[in-house]
Chains A and B, each alone.
Chain A
Amino acid sequence: MKINLKVNGILEEVEVDASAVLLDVLRDKLHLTGTKEGCREGECGACTVLIDGQPVDSCLYSAAAAANAEIETVEGISANGLSAIQKAMVEEGGIQCGFCTPGIVMTLTALLRQNADPTPQDVAVALNGNICRCTGYSRIVSATLKAAKNAMAQKAGDAHA
């Protein structure tokens, strides 16, 4: 079947199987390989993308069901250079092997849009569905708080300017 997927603001027509999952279409058809495949069962979050602003495991989300929705991948949020959370992840050392990073960045992007000033507990709860086997999470949490602080400082600066 042919479907239209809107990925990072661009409408793409793709031929998919009725049972295809979004992850395979993103990686194999659209060559957006920033989204990673870990467990393929919804456990690890490496495949997280945003659908209408909400984090979703693309490994178990139907590609056909994602037609007509706004899909965002890690490529989209870094189209104009690294985003605030990506920069903070680099600066705080929130990345080791990096396999979990795109998924974590997507979840945290959704969190920071919905909650400009999260507590460490908010970050931990948001990341329940993202597994990182390297970092021990604490630097990821501090990166999130830093990105939030930077964004708030910038907003305050803009308001004064």
Chain B
Amino acid sequence: MSPTRPLILLPPSGKRQVTVMDFIYAQKLEEALDALRSQAGRAKVLAGGTDLMIQIARGEKQPQALIFIGQLKDDLATISLSQDGYLNIGALVTHRQICADRHIQANYPALATASASVGGWQTQSVGTLAGNICNASPAADTIPPLLVHEAVVTVQSAARGLRDVLLEHFITGRRQIAIENDEMVVGITLAPPPADTADAYLKVGRRKAMEVAIAGLAMRLTMAGPETVGELRVATCATGPVSRRASEVEALFSGQKLTNELVTQGASLLGRMIQPIDDTRASAEYRKLVIPKLFRGAVLECLAKLGIAISGLEKS
């Protein structure tokens, strides 16, 4: 207790007594992996802490130890491009770095948009992309854009080395991920998008800035001809317990001529498919109404980015 407050007997409201016993500074990746193995499930990895520190303060998570990986920046805070165009985003890359990265802005703008919408500057300066997916909130903004680009998550452990998992398989449920106690995420990889491809991320919140999504939608559209769709991919967040691609909607579009009717059909099918809930941010009914609008908006945004105008296809 501080010398200036000797008379306070109870912790001030909001300051809960929590019992994290150990704080482990990993100086090397191997040290983090060894600590994870020896803690055998009692420890949590701490990156920016924008989710974990609040969860600990609220008593929602009670790890006995924190393994701080923030000093592994040389290994994990880098964005690198391989010879064959694959982009690797290290586990400590922050939302701020994502928004500022030229290659991401040019090739995966939906991801840059999503990271730019995560909280304010304060959250983005320390909050990481890997933390966002590991926390696996149904409203996590970066998950839909990563899903439409078929991101691969690289996980490492001291015992078994490296392992790649498709993000789609990595996120198994609301706040649940396919990771063993002794493993941590070391990076996320994105394949180069094909030619004639554009993407978009659209989000609805209560206010313009700093708001967790009421609903979010990412799309990636690849055209095969002037009006013919090669492939359309779509994923949503805050519309159910887990963010997923909507494969039935995607199937409607593949190889088809893009018309206003088709977009309307896809939008309404997507609205019927999602299973949102009522919560403090919005009702399920509102979410079912807004998602079809986001779908149409995303098609229009992708077409605009591709410089394609299709007659009869306008905002409704």
Residues of A within 8 A of B14 (CB): 40
Q: Which of A54-62, A85-93, A139-147, A153-161 contacts B (4 or more CB under 8 A)?
A: A54-62
Flag whether B220 is at the interface (Cβ < 8 A). Answer: no
Interface residues of B in 89-146 (CB under 8 A from A): 96, 119-123, 125-126
Q: Are A54 and B125 in contact (CB under 8 A)?
A: yes
Q: Are A62 and B66 in contact (CB under 8 A)?
A: yes
Which single member of A19, A28, A128 contacts B56 (CB below 8 Å)? A19
Instruction: Report how far A34 CA is from B49 CA in the complex, Å.
Output: 23
Q: Are A41 and B66 in contact (CB under 8 A)?
A: no
Flag whether A79 is at the interface (Cβ < 8 A). Answer: no
Flag whether A116 is at the interface (Cβ < 8 A). Answer: no
Flag whether A64 is at the interface (Cβ < 8 A). Answer: yes
Flag whether B2 is at the interface (Cβ < 8 A). Answer: yes
The 0/1 profile, CB within 8 Å of B marked 1, for residues 57-76 of chain A is 10011101101100000000
Flag whether A51 is at the interface (Cβ < 8 A). Answer: yes
- Compute the total of residue contacts between A and B using a CB distance below 8 Å: 95
Residues of A within 8 A of B4 (CB): 28, 31
Instruction: Report how far A54 CA is from B54 CA in the complex, Å.
Output: 20
Q: Which of B20-28, B179-187, B236-244 contacts A (4 or more CB under 8 A)?
A: B20-28
Asked if A29 meets B2 with Cβ closer than 8 Å, knowing A42-B54, A61-B49, A129-B119, the reply is yes
Flag whether B70 is at the interface (Cβ < 8 A). Answer: yes
Interface size class of A (residues with CB under 8 A): 35 or more
Instruction: Report how far A126 CA is from B96 CA in the complex, Å.
Output: 12
Asked if A129 meets B18 with Cβ closer than 8 Å, knowing A28-B5, A62-B53, the reply is no
Q: Are A55 and B121 in contact (CB under 8 A)?
A: yes
Interface residues of A in 5-38 (CB under 8 A from B): 17-19, 21, 24, 28-29, 31
Flag whether A130 is at the interface (Cβ < 8 A). Answer: yes
Q: Are B126 and A54 in contact (CB under 8 A)?
A: yes
Which single member of A28, A54, A62 contacts B49 (CB below 8 Å)? A62
Flag whether A45 is at the interface (Cβ < 8 A). Answer: yes
Residues of B within 8 A of A24 (CB): 15
Flag whether A107 is at the interface (Cβ < 8 A). Answer: yes
The 0/1 profile, CB within 8 Å of A marked 1, for residues 13-49 of chain B is 0110011111101000000000000000000001011
Asked if A129 meets B210 with Cβ closer than 8 Å, knowing A40-B14, A45-B120, the reply is yes
Which single member of B25, B48, B49, B123 contacts A129 (CB below 8 Å)? B123
How distant is A161 from chain B, measured CB to nearest CB, in Å? 35
Instruction: Report how far A65 CA is from B26 CA in the complex, Å.
Output: 11
Flag whether A109 is at the interface (Cβ < 8 A). Answer: no
Residues of A within 8 A of B56 (CB): 19
Q: Are A43 and B23 in contact (CB under 8 A)?
A: no
Residues of A within 8 A of B54 (CB): 41-42, 60
Flag whether B57 is at the interface (Cβ < 8 A). Answer: yes
Flag whether A101 is at the interface (Cβ < 8 A). Answer: no
Among A42, A45, A127, max chain B CB count under 10 A is at: A42
Instruction: Report how far A127 CA is from B119 CA in the complex, Å.
Output: 11
Instruction: Report how far A67 CA is from B27 CA in the complex, Å.
Output: 13
Flag whether B259 is at the interface (Cβ < 8 A). Answer: no
Flag whether B251 is at the interface (Cβ < 8 A). Answer: no
Q: Are B49 and A130 in contact (CB under 8 A)?
A: no
Q: Are A60 and B120 in contact (CB under 8 A)?
A: no
Flag whether B273 is at the interface (Cβ < 8 A). Answer: no
Residues of B within 8 A of A128 (CB): 119-121, 209-210
Residue of B nearest to A54 (CB): B125
Q: List 16 A-B contacts (CB under 8 A).
A: A17-B20, A18-B21, A18-B65, A19-B19, A28-B2, A42-B50, A42-B54, A42-B122, A42-B123, A60-B49, A61-B49, A61-B53, A62-B46, A67-B25, A110-B121, A128-B209
7 new A-B contacts, CB < 8 A, other than A54-B125, A67-B25, are A18-B21, A40-B14, A42-B122, A55-B125, A62-B68, A125-B209, A128-B120
Q: Which residues of B contact A (CB under 8 A)?
A: 2, 4-5, 14-15, 18-23, 25, 46, 48-50, 53-54, 56-57, 65-66, 68, 70-71, 96, 119-123, 125-126, 209-210
